[in-house]
Amino acid sequence: MTQDDLSSADERPSKSQLKREMHALQALGEQLIAMKDSERERFPLSDDLLRAIEETGRIKAREARRRHMQYVGKLMRREDLEGIQAVFDAMEREQLRRDNAFHRLEAWRDRLIEEGDAAIEPLLNDYPTIDRQALRQLIRNARQERDQQKPPTNARRLFKLLREAAQE
């Protein structure tokens, strides 16, 4: 063996590495299959892959499904993986933004119940369209529920009011 033969063998990925990459592509295919059609439309997928994804739902036999997933993984090799990953990243950022907004509203609700009228003015600076009278009534009722250890019905209504104001 010459030095060139050894260096070219070192540059090729190992069989194990190829298997790991194939399993990763199959897992990516599984994620795409699990999505709703409306979510999947955002991805730059070929017609062949879309047909294979649709066909997956009709396959019930375990071994046939395993072989089909290998086929999906094979098709994934020809796809724009960077484009697909970019869409996944964008979806993840959107979900993170929604989660943060949800947690912010929960914090406002908890602060309003805890502090009462003192927290209303700072809230109105952030959400000027909110109905002040309804807000005060819900805060008062939520505090009573908390003190009497009743289910948090008004706290939920308060959160709903905050969520509606945030969407305006």
pLDDT at 153 over 60: yes
Residue 11's alpha-carbon distances to 4, 14, 62, in angstroms, are 11, 9, 37
Confidence of residue 57 (pLDDT cuts 50, 70, 90): confident
pLDDT at 6 over 60: no
End of a domain among 79, 96, 128? 79
Q: How far apart are CA 19 and CA 140, in angstroms?
A: 61
Beta strands in 91-161 (DSSP E): none
Residues 132 and 161 in one domain: yes
Q: How far apart are CA 88 and CA 135, in angstroms?
A: 38
**Torsion (CA) 50, 53, 54, 55 in degrees, nearest 10:** 120
Q: How far apart are CA 22 and CA 85, in angstroms?
A: 16
Instruction: Tell me the per-residue pLDDT of 106-144, one tens digit each, with 9 for 90 and over.
Output: 999 999 999 988 999 999 998 899 999 999 999 999 999
pLDDT at 8: 55
Instruction: Tell me the per-residue pLDDT of 77-102, one tens digit each, with 9 for 90 and over.
Output: 898 989 999 999 999 999 999 999 99
In this structure, which amino acid lies at residue 55? E
Residues 62 and 121 in one domain: no
From 1-10, 21-30, 54-63, the region with the lowest mean pLDDT: 1-10
Residues 20 and 69 in one domain: yes
pLDDT at 10 over 70: no
Q: How far apart are CA 53 and CA 150, in angstroms?
A: 49
CATH of the domain at 145: 1.10.60.30
| Higher pLDDT pick, 25 / 111 | 111
pLDDT at 147 over 80: yes
Residues 116 and 161 in one domain: yes
Mean pLDDT of the chain: 89
pLDDT at 95: 95
User: What is the number of structural domains in the chain?
Assistant: 2
